[in-house]
Amino acid sequence: MSSTIDHTMGARDWMLLVSLSLLWGGSFFLIELAITGLPPLTIVLLRVSLAAAALWIYAGLRGLNPPRKPGAWRAFLTMGCLNNVAPFVLIVWGQTHITSGLASILNATAPLFTIIVAGLLLADERITLAKTLGVLAGFSGVVLMMGPAALRGVGSELLAQCAILLAAFCYACAGVFGRRFQRMGVDPVVTAAGQVTASSLVLAPLAIGFDQPWLLPLPSILVIAAIVILALLSTALAYILYFRLLATAGATNLLLVTFLIPISAILLGTLLLGESLSGEHYLGMGLIGLGLVAIDGRAVKRLVKR
């Protein structure tokens, strides 16, 4: 079910991965702002529907048309449920009960799930010792970097924590399922637009039925701004990069972005909010870097040869 990919990422792939981590690194903060004024389903619906509108406008400017084959839209629907509807709702709901720091740690389990799912279903992404050790090192780095304070809520809100873990598992399944779009010859922009469009169609009746958004008070300018940025940057632009990277680097390499997201969030806080870095941050980043090097494999192969 897969086409051949290059497991050793080049400079362009790493640039896309870092860019994606920056776009998604700020999403946890934006979600925390949004949930102060809107319920979870409404937030997710606004996020994907605004992103869908922006992506189809961009696709039209590039001369890209929606696919006409029903099979493509069935795939968009499945991808939308796995990559948007389920994880977005689970994460937004989970963040109403636990901190964004703990949510980002639990979200960083996505590569662990991806190694298992991809190893079982994709012939060219088999489980290896280097991958497993690299992912464990990276996850340890995330936990160390976020610090003991982020782990204080572990066990107190078990259902919310399980929701974030289930979201991470959905991301792993989406990464594996999404490999088929390259084989179908669908442009990454059209794939991103189709995915969020299908997600909007699923979420609209749910948000209308449960949240009754017409009865909600008008949100503040800050909440509206958070939703717009979340839709245009952390969703529309992010998914263009996501599908380009998935086509060239594969599901396991793509989901490494969840290790980089906490680094991006902390560095953004340092640059924009004047926050300071501690020794744990540097050690955590070092462990994540070590894990990424192990998964990339080139340095390990050179060492073995020597």
**pLDDT tens digits, 13-33:** 888 888 888 888 778 778 878
Q: What is the CA radius of gyration of the chain?
A: 19
**Confidence check: pLDDT of 170 > 90:** yes
pLDDT tens digits for range 150-159? 556 566 678 8
Q: What is the DSSP letter of 98?
A: S
Q: Which of 145, 148, 140, 137 is nearest to 278 (CA)?
A: 145
Place of tokens 């936990």: 143
pLDDT at 110: 83
The pLDDT-based confidence of 91 (bands split at 50, 70, 90) is confident
60 and 133 Cβ atoms separated by less than 8 Å: no
pLDDT tens digits for range 221-273? 999 999 999 999 999 999 999 888 888 877 777 777 777 777 777 676 667 65
> How many C-beta atoms surround the C-beta of residue 182 within 10 A?
18
Rounded CA gap, 289 and 283, in Å? 10
pLDDT at 104: 75
- Give the C-alpha distances (Å, rounded to integers) separating 181 from 124, 125, 196, 221: 16, 17, 15, 38
pLDDT at 54: 96
Residue 282 CA to its chain's centroid (Å)? 23
Q: Which of 280, 300, 283 is nearest to 292 (CA)?
A: 300
Q: What is the DSSP letter of 214?
A: G
pLDDT at 224: 95
pLDDT at 193: 95
Is pTM beyond 0.75? Reply is yes
**Confidence check: pLDDT of 2 > 50:** no
Rounded CA gap, 216 and 46, in Å? 14
Q: Which of 1, 3, 2, 9 is nearest to 254 (CA)?
A: 9
> Which whole number is the average pLDDT over 145-151?
63
pLDDT tens digits for range 34-64? 988 999 889 989 999 999 999 999 999 999 9
Alpha helices in the chain (DSSP H): 11-25, 27-34, 40-61, 70-80, 86-94, 100-107, 110-121, 129-146, 158-177, 180-184, 188-211, 221-231, 238-249, 251-254, 257-273, 279-296, 298-305
At 240, the amino acid letter reads: I
The maximal CA–CA distance of the chain, rounded, in angstroms, is 68
**Angle, CA 47 vertex, CA 92 and CA 25 arms, to 5°:** 60
**Confidence check: pLDDT of 95 > 60:** yes
Rounded CA gap, 209 and 226, in Å? 24
> How many C-beta atoms surround the C-beta of residue 79 within 10 A?
24
104 and 146 Cβ atoms separated by less than 8 Å: yes
The pLDDT-based confidence of 1 (bands split at 50, 70, 90) is very low
Q: What is the DSSP letter of 263?
A: H
Q: What is the pLDDT of the chain when averaged over all its residues?
A: 82
Higher-confidence residue of 150 and 192: namely 192
Higher-confidence residue of 76 and 281: namely 76
Higher-confidence residue of 70 and 288: namely 70
**Confidence check: pLDDT of 7 > 60:** no
